[in-house]
């Protein structure tokens, strides 16, 4: 897998802490759109948020930094990120239900 800025990559991130009911998914979608990433953010039954995103490595690194910080009302306790090859997702960033 290439790590050049022109190559597309994918992250699968799981964010734990106070991340539901605080606008976290909306925050992630806005960040993803601003970074020109394609992906989704969704709440999981265990109280965490799953984020899947594709784009350039530079943009994905910026998203990971944003996930660590979260919006003002959130409190991120743990972030797990797995890097994989892009699967060709090309649409914008969505909040999954």
pLDDT band at 6, cuts 50/70/90?
Answer: low
Q: What is the pTM of this model?
A: 0.91
Q: Rounded to whole angstroms, how far apart are CA atoms 86 and 55?
A: 8
pLDDT, tens digit, 9 for 90 and up, residues 56-69: 999 999 999 999 99
Q: Between 3.30.2420.10, 3.40.50.2300, 3.30.70.100, 3.90.230.10, what CATH number should domain 8-86 receive?
A: 3.30.70.100
Distance CA 15, CA 49 (A): 5
**pLDDT surpassing 90 at residue 97:** no
Which are the catalytic amino acids?
Answer: 25, 43
Residue 22: count of CB within 10 angstroms of its CB: 17
Lowest mean pLDDT among 5-14, 48-57, 63-72: 5-14
- So where are the chain's domains? 8-86
């Amino acid at each position: 897998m290439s790590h050049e800025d022109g190559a597309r990559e994918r992250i699968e991130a799981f964010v734990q802490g106070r991340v539901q009911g605080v606008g976290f998914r909306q925050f992630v979608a806005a960040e993803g759109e601003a970074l020109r990433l394609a992906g989704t953010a969704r709440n999981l039954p265990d109280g965490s948020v799953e984020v899947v995103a594709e784009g350039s490595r530079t943009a994905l690194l910026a998203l990971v930094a944003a996930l660590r910080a979260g919006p003002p009302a959130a409190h991120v306790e743990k972030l797990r990120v797995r890097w994989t090859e892009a699967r060709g997702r090309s649409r914008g960033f969505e909040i999954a239900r």
